[in-house]
Amino acid sequence: MTSPANSTSMEGLNRELDRELSAALRSRGHRVTLPRLLVHRHVRRRDGHLLPEQLHAELAAELPSLSPATIYATLDLLDALGFVRRVGSPRGGTIYDSRTDPHHHVICRLCGHIQDLEAPVDMVSAERAAAAAGFAVHRGELQLSGICATCAS
């Protein structure tokens, strides 16, 4: 059961998250909607990586009318606004990361498990090489794929 103090602090966090998203949406001419607010709250309150299907399952009880299409569109919008990071998967799916600071990932080719990878990488050289190849880099990250310990056993 949630204590009154926890409930009050959660309400305060929700209000702050709602203000933050509302300002970003309005400044770019987007509407503020309940589904967008709910998805934003849910994603920002948790750490880690999230599949859109997982998010839909977690929010379905709170808002039964929330469609998978709305989840995908909202996550793409949150990525464009800088509130989440979209991470491609070698298995073809899309994963969203609530951590938006520059960091890298390692992903299992078999089960799709994704984990943050904390390692220094010379991104300046990589971005220079990309520029020499004619690319304008907007964001860089290293993504390694392999087989996780669970799948390897």
Residue 3 has pLDDT above 90, yes or no: no
pLDDT of residue 81: 95
Rounded CA separation 96/10 (Å): 23
Q: How large is the average pLDDT for residues 58-67?
A: 91
pLDDT of residue 14: 84
Domains and CATH numbers, the chain: 1-100 (1.10.10.10), 102-153 (3.30.1490.190)
Residue 120 has pLDDT above 60, yes or no: yes
CA distances 68 to 9, 10, 15, 23, 61, Å, are 29, 26, 25, 25, 13
pLDDT of residue 11: 85
Q: Which tens digits make up the pLDDT trace of 72-81? A: 999 999 999 9
Annotate 81-150 with DSSP letters as a single string. Answer: HTSSEEEE-TTS-EEEES--SS-EEEEETTT--EEEE-----HHHHHHHHHHTT---S----EEEE--HH
Residue 7 has pLDDT above 70, yes or no: no
Q: How large is the average pLDDT for residues 2-27?
A: 81
